Amino acid sequence: MRKAGLSLLFVLLLFACSNSNSTIIPLKSSGTEVLESQIEKGDTITVAFASVVSPQETRVKYDLLINYLEEKLERPIIIVQKQTYDEVNEMVEAGDVDIAFICSLSYVIGKEKNYLDGIAAPVVNGSNLYRSYVITHINSEIDTFEDLGGKRFAFADPFSYSGRLSVLNMLDERGLTTNFFDDLFYTYSHDYSVSAVARGAVDAAAVDSLLFDQLVKLNNDDASLVKIIEYGKYAGTPPIVVSKKIEQQVKQKIKNVILGLKDDPIGRGILQELKIDEYVEIDDEKYLPIKNMLHLLGDDNVED
């Protein structure tokens, strides 16, 4: 089997050669440089995003929430956007960022290594659970997970639950390993994974159910060209977290603001823009399915 980590650049080249008119927004940010040149750390709050989920929309649709937080906390906010979950995890662990919007696997790992605290989890369409969808082209003869043998498969990110770990579990339950696939790629974006399948760059991919369902509701062209052939186990939705190194008083204020969004008319408007019902207290039991799969990460485990 030929294993390959499909670079972001190559993904963009593939898409540029397609008939798509979509605009690709660069993911590499100067966030780290901004962080080092801004006001002293104690006077600011830093917020990190990974670009894995909706990189073309993340900064735009969360601007309202960041502005709201800045007003309520009465402190300037610096935004740091990174391409991968691992980059954000490292910054949270080091205390280089205060708040982070991360995936559920990153949350579980951070809890295991004791470098972060959960603030709140989003409720979407009445549920604070989500899962992985394994998708393939709508015209493909691939109809079941077993049909993926010898095919080209795309993961989203090495530290994504819905975009990788859930599929490792599907393989493990069948007594298989990633050698089951012919080629493996990383798109570093759930959006790009959907596009990669729709445009034939790969045969199948694992994507975030929340993101995919939203694309379907928006009548996204690429989403209309794929079908779901397998579902992962439900787990807690991707939470908002803070570094363990943040002041306790600031942590509590952030938590109060996030959990109180639903009780404020402006906050409710922000939630509506984000397509989120509300943010609720994190229930760690919801993340146990992920914790029980950590051993499948192999060399990417949570051990120091």
Cβ(84)–Cβ(157) under 8 Å?
yes
pLDDT band at residue 43 under the 50/70/90 scheme:
confident
Q: Measure the CA–CA gap between 269 and 262, rounded to whole angstroms.
A: 9
Domain 8-15+128-235 sits in which CATH superfamily?
Answer: Periplasmic binding protein-like II (3.40.190.10)
The closest alpha carbon to 132, from 223, 213, 195, 201, belongs to: 213
User: Each residue of 103-143: pLDDT tens digit?
Assistant: 999 999 999 999 999 999 999 999 999 999 999 999 999 99
> Is-same-fold flag (8-15+128-235; 31-122+239-278)?
yes
pLDDT in the model for residue 304: 43
**Cβ atoms of residues 59 and 80 within 8 Å:** no
Beta bridge partners of 280: 121
Over 50: is that where the pLDDT of 74 sits?
yes
**pLDDT tens sequence across 159-214:** 999 999 999 999 999 999 999 999 999 999 999 999 999 999 999 999 999 999 98
Residue 5 has pLDDT above 60, yes or no: no
Domain boundaries in the chain?
A: 8-15+128-235, 31-122+239-278
- Measured in whole angstroms, the distance separating CA 271 from the mean position of its chain's CA atoms is 18
Kindly list the distances between the CA atom of residue 286 and the CA atoms of 88, 90, 170, 283, 290, in Å, as whole numbers in the listed order: 22, 24, 19, 6, 9
* Topology given in CATH for the domain delimited by 31-122+239-278: D-Maltodextrin-Binding Protein; domain 2 (3.40.190)
Supply the pLDDT for residue 298: 82
